[in-house]
């Protein structure tokens, strides 16, 4: 299975949520490690072409924090930071995340379900308000996520 036949699905089941589902051609333990370890994250969590991730700090445990920073040669860089609220390796994480200058934080619940060596990821992003959710969607975040997930699929299958 390649990235091209693993499409990402995005829904908005409530006024404050975005739910992203995507299959990866890899076992859950590898997908989980790629999401929670700076050894892997800068290889795939990049979004559109040209971005790099020079800042990657992760303490992947309940109460632990993370910080990611991206740079682009022609665009303004940005960072996100957050904390792990729950962690059930290799099946589930719940994080609280902020991305200045956007107000508030999101609660992100990622669930990994493995079957026959393939993993279905369901990522539920819950915003403080409908306005915050709509603002995030207008940034083109889902295009960046789709590219990152395609890169993750390629990375996991090297």
DSSP string for 96-147: EEE-TTS-S-EEEEEEEEEETTEEEEEEEEE-SSHHHHHHHHHTTHHHHHHH
Give the pLDDT score at 33: 98
pLDDT band at 1 (very low <50, low <70, confident <90, very high): very low
First to last CA, the chain: 13
Give the mean pLDDT of 138-151.
92
Give the pLDDT score at 6: 83
pLDDT at 3 over 80: no
Tell me the pTM: 0.93
Give the mean pLDDT of 58-77.
96
pLDDT tens profile 76-110: 999 999 999 999 999 999 999 998 877 789 999 99
pLDDT tens profile 4-63: 468 999 999 999 999 999 999 999 999 999 999 999 999 999 988 999 999 999 999 999
Bridge partners, residue 21, by sequence: 9, 122
Give the pLDDT score at 47: 86
pLDDT tens profile 118-131: 999 999 999 999 99
* Phi, psi torsion values for 118, nearest 5 degrees: -110, 150
Cα distances (angstroms) measured from residue 120 to each of 31, 74, 83, 113, 144: 10, 35, 23, 5, 19
Domains, the chain, ranges and CATH?
Answer: 3-46+87-156 (3.30.530.20)
Q: In this structure, are residues 16 and 127 in contact, taking their beta carbons and an 8 Å threshold?
A: yes
């Amino acid at each position: 299975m390649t990235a091209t036949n693993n499409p990402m699905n995005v829904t908005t089941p409530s006024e404050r949520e975005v739910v992203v589902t995507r299959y990866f051609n890899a076992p859950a333990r590898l997908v989980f490690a790629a999401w929670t370890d700076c050894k892997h994250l800068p290889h795939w969590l990049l979004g559109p072409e040209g971005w790099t991730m020079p800042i990657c700090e992760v303490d992947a445990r309940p109460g632990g924090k993370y910080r990611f920073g991206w740079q682009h040669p022609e665009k303004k860089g940005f960072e996100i930071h957050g904390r792990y609220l729950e962690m059930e390796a290799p099946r589930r994480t719940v994080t609280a995340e902020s991305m200045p200058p956007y107000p508030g934080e999101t609660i992100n619940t990622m669930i990994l379900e493995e079957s026959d060596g393939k993993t279905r990821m369901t990522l539920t992003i819950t915003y403080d308000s409908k306005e915050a959710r709509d603002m995030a969607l207008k940034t083109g975040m889902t295009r960046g996520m789709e590219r990152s997930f395609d890169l993750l699929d390629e990375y996991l299958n090297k």
